[in-house]
Structure 1
Amino acid sequence: FGSECGIAKFDAVIAAAEICEKAGIDTMSAGLSIGFAMECFEKGLIGLNDTDGIKLRFGNDEAMITALQKIVNEEGFGKQMAKGVRSLSEGIKGSEAFAMHVKGLEMGGYECRGLNAQALEFAINNMGGSHSSYGFPVYGELAKGSGKQVKGKGKEVKESAIGRILRDCISVCAFAKATLTDPQLPDMVSSLFGEPWSVDDLNTVGKRIMCLERLFNMREGITREDDSLPGRLLNELKPDGPAKGVVVPLEELKDDYYAAMGWDLATGNPSDELLDEL
């Protein structure tokens, strides 16, 4: 609600988060949906007749709260915003390039131009534009200063994803990775099952889960083409910051990832040989 809607008033951001908490809706999806509507309004793609008279401009905290309440109540324009960015964009001509979602899930967390592993995670994530369900590769990139590299990012995202998936399976906090390291996980699992597990055993389980998720999406028609990002990240040069002038080299990154996973480069899906192996 802060950065996505241009709101600098902390009390307004907290109020919006509290409304979401009480209504049981996601703060990221709600905030991005309102921020997207604000950009559409400022670009003249929608007007007051569309927004129920709300002046949806960046920085207008009262408009943000009013829009959020309409989302919660599914009232007027809020009913459209409640469907999320992808659905909203489909009804607003000229908005697709800056509709910040992947596979229908709003992209929270990070500006990923200049952070190629994070950009790749957004694109290939089986659940869509999640910033964290495949780990937090952004932290490693920032620490190493390696964000603009391409080669090796597939392996980086694969390892990040497996680490997060294993912690989800064991039910430990993802933020505990610094203290609960990968070499410690086999001891936990071995104690649970009463038989020895190795790091390699666990990594195989993580990779198997990633392949099973992909097979589900494959059944539903997902292909390499769907592992994409909004046009803004692919075609618009980043206007400022350390990564000024950068876009995401997505096709190269996807090739690197599929190769690291042992998936088919043309379709982006697991090969029969890999599935037999797993």
Structure 2
Amino acid sequence: MRLDDLEESQHVEDSRGRGMVGGRSIGIGTIALALVAMYFGVDPNLVLNSAQQTPSATSAQTAPADKADPQIKFVSQVLWSTEQVWQGLFSAAGQQYQPPTLDIFSDATQTACGQGQAAMGPFYCPADQKVYIDLQFYQALQSRFKAPGDFAQAYVIAHEVGHHVQHLLGTSARVQQARQQARSEAASNAYSVQLELQADCYAGVWAHHADQQFRVLQAGDVEEALRAATAIGDDALQKQAQGYVVPDSFTHGSSAQRVHWFQQGLQSGQVNDCNTFK
């Protein structure tokens, strides 16, 4: 991924160290296992509590991100590119884009949506309009899920920013209401899958326009994102953990679905082509 022409976002915070589990770091294996558990609809605390005590929030404040750290510089540049792309798309539609803040934490952090943990993987909280990420997730993406590469990492951020776009457009609220009114858990999960697949498509839309504007894509980059989308499909995670697949329990979509919708956004570059709710 070529980042030469990308500036660094001013909407990055560093809250690492303000929340620890039992005063110690969680091992990357524990994080990966708990992440898999979360994808099955299992409370990741069940995994975490077997190794550590439940984290407690502290009153420490976030700090400006250290842009000298190569990882922080990378996520700052990727976030800046999402800001440019979505500001342009919203402006073309006669709307104003308010960018999210990206909060880098370690192990655990307090959010407006409750206690956030590294085992949850990167996530978006609509209540404070922040994307949260523990950078150890990238190690798990490479070692546990066999999806290395900087563009795979950028795809993860773009997916979470996609959830922010859904929040701004009111999609998330409508889906949440539909899930609450669903007559079965399977029906509720289906709405969750549609929301997640749309965020994948929005990540593809970002990649389309980021490459047009900044020529960020290099040989092999798209394949990196597709490997990541494949690795974190519900079916792949379930096969890895339990040896069989339960489609009604899917919350994020199968590997094939995630790949399809990312490619849809990448090829089209059109938000209207990301209607996963049809």
Same fold, TM-score > 0.5, yes or no: no
Higher relative contact order (CA 8 A, sep 6+): 2
Q: Which has the higher strand share?
A: 2
State which structure, 1 or 2, has the greater radius of gyration over its C-alpha atoms: 1
TM normalised by structure 2 equals: 0.31
